[in-house]
């Protein structure tokens, strides 16, 4: 059970606090409801670029060194991320250093400089980040697949951005994008851990009460439930063939998300999953093989990943399809159904031992549900999932017109889908 308090400031900013006196640390997490899917065709990568620039200097700490020096001096763990629908910033520190940590992260968020020289310099860093993912076939095949599944929709954009657009981004673009989306009504601050007597709400109000702004516009919706390009291939000099087979899934708020979690766990969510056992353990065709889900405001992805011997690609794909067809036809057996539920229950409990995971969970709940489900509510909902529900969902998701396969390998394959 997570004990938390929710406070909405007059300007619309939401503050969630989750005290825990059984730790010596505190986590500050700021989540903003904007990400890659909010970009238009000329802004590809700007959400991620902006995230980088918050670390490049602020009003009271005008250089990167001054920001990180202060955080390093207290042994803090800090970073940021950009997703399709949210951008997050966090600092974890010893609880007694809360005021210092909050002063730094709030200064970064509220008073970024966006110095033009730093902006131009950071372009080089992001271009190298783009090259890094391009040189990692296991990662880049996922970028190819997401582009394949969502086409020209912003959900199909590479979050890092393509090199052409990265080079063109200028300071007015950054400032305008921040002013449009980095608003109090679009921001959730979550603080978890030991307060050590600090008044978290008072500190947040001191720094954030004066900011204002109207709520941001909604992202472009996604309604297409058919994939145009069934197969995308890229030939490279690699020793292993990497594949991602995806299906358009369901949204973050769909009531069937509990059944989806069970389905994912059974197919490829762990070392006892069907695909892991069939592809790796029984046939030694792959080192990594797994499935996962990505859930968005109005759609989602169910994806299966594997890296296999080049000559084993066809066999691997056949095994995947055979397992999919079996679960569509017969559903899960009782033993694997209960095992999957136990897996989800245990994974949730373990994840919520970490204060950053708790902070992210609370922020996501508010962002997508506009409320926070209790752990008991989630566990109960998972426990009620039936084999019939899993089977019905599999038949809906695993349809050929909702499918796309992306492959990176040493040669072109003749694949019938």
All residues at 6 or more sequence positions from 244 whose CB lies less than 8 Å from its CB, including other chains: 141, 142, 144, 145, 303, 304, 305, 405, 406
98/195 same-domain check: yes
167/249 same-domain check: no
pLDDT tens for 71-92 read 999 999 999 999 999 999 999 9
Residue 29 lies in a domain: yes
250/128 same-domain check: no
All residues at 6 or more sequence positions from 325 whose CB lies less than 8 Å from its CB, including other chains: none
187/311 same-domain check: no
pLDDT tens for 302-331 read 999 999 999 999 999 999 999 999 999 999
134/242 same-domain check: no
Residue 13 lies in a domain: yes
Confidence of residue 210 (pLDDT cuts 50, 70, 90): confident
pTM assigned to the model: 0.94
For residue 225, pLDDT over 90 is answered with: no
Count CB-CB contacts under 10 A for residue 278: 17
Residue 107 lies in a domain: yes
Residue 214 lies in a domain: no
For residue 224, pLDDT over 90 is answered with: no
For residue 216, pLDDT over 80 is answered with: no
Q: Which residues pair with 383 in a beta bridge?
A: none
Domain of residue 16 covers 5-208
Q: Are 345 and 411 within 8 A, CB to CB?
A: no
77/196 same-domain check: yes
181/247 same-domain check: no
299/196 same-domain check: no
* Number of domains into which the chain is organized: 2
**Cα 161 vs. chain centroid, distance in angstroms?**
16
Q: Are 145 and 403 within 8 A, CB to CB?
A: no
Residue 150 lies in a domain: yes
* Span 199-222, average pLDDT: 89
pLDDT at residue 217, as a whole number? 77
pLDDT tens for 275-308 read 999 999 999 999 999 999 999 999 999 999 999 9
Q: Which domain CATH number covers 86?
A: 3.30.830.10
168/249 same-domain check: no
* Span 386-410, average pLDDT: 97
373/280 same-domain check: yes
286/189 same-domain check: no
């Amino acid at each position: 059970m997570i004990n938390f308090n929710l406070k909405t400031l007059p300007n619309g900013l939401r503050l969630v606090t989750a005290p825990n006196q059984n730790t010596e640390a505190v986590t500050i997490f700021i989540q903003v409801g904007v990400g890659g899917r909010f970009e238009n065709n000329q802004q590809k990568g700007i959400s991620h670029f902006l995230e980088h620039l918050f670390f490049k200097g602020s009003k009271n700490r005008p250089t990167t060194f001054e920001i990180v020096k202060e955080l390093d001096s207290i042994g803090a763990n800090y970073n940021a991320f950009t997703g399709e629908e949210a951008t997050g910033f966090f600092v974890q520190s010893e609880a007694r250093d809360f005021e210092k940590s909050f002063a730094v992260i709030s200064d970064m968020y509220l008073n970024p400089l966006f110095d033009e020289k730093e902006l131009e310099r950071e372009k080089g860093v992001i271009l190298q980040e783009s090259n890094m993912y391009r040189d990692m076939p296991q990662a880049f095949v996922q970028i190819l697949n997401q582009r394949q599944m969502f086409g020209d929709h912003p959900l199909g954009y590479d979050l890092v951005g393509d090199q052409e657009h990265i080079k063109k981004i200028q300071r007015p673009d950054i400032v305008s994008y921040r002013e449009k989306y980095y608003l109090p009504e679009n921001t959730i601050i979550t603080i978890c851990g030991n307060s050590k007597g600090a008044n978290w709400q008072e500190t947040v109000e001191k720094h954030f009460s004066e900011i204002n702004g109207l709520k941001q516009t909604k992202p472009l919706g996604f309604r297409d439930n058919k994939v145009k390009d069934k197969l995308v291939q890229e030939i490279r000099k690699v020793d292993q063939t990497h594949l991602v087979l995806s299906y358009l899934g369901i949204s973050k708020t769909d009531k069937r998300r509990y059944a989806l979690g069970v389905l994912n766990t059974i197919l490829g969510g762990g070392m006892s999953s069907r695909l892991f056992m069939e592809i790796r353990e029984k046939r030694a065709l792959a080192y990594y093989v797994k499935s996962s889900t990505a859930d968005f405001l109005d759609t989602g992805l169910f994806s299966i990943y594997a890296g296999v011997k080049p000559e084993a690609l066809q066999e691997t794909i056949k095994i995947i399809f055979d397992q999919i067809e079996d679960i569509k036809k017969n559903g899960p057996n009782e033993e694997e159904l209960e095992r999957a539920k136990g897996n989800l229950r245990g994974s949730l409990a373990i994840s919520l031992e970490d204060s950053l995971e708790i902070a992210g969970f609370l922020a996501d709940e508010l962002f997508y549900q506009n409320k926070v489900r209790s752990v008991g509510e989630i566990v109960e909902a998972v426990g009620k999932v039936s084999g019939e529900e899993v089977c019905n969902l599999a038949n809906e998701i695993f349809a050929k017109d909702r499918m796309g396969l992306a492959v990176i390998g040493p040669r072109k394959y003749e694949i019938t889908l």
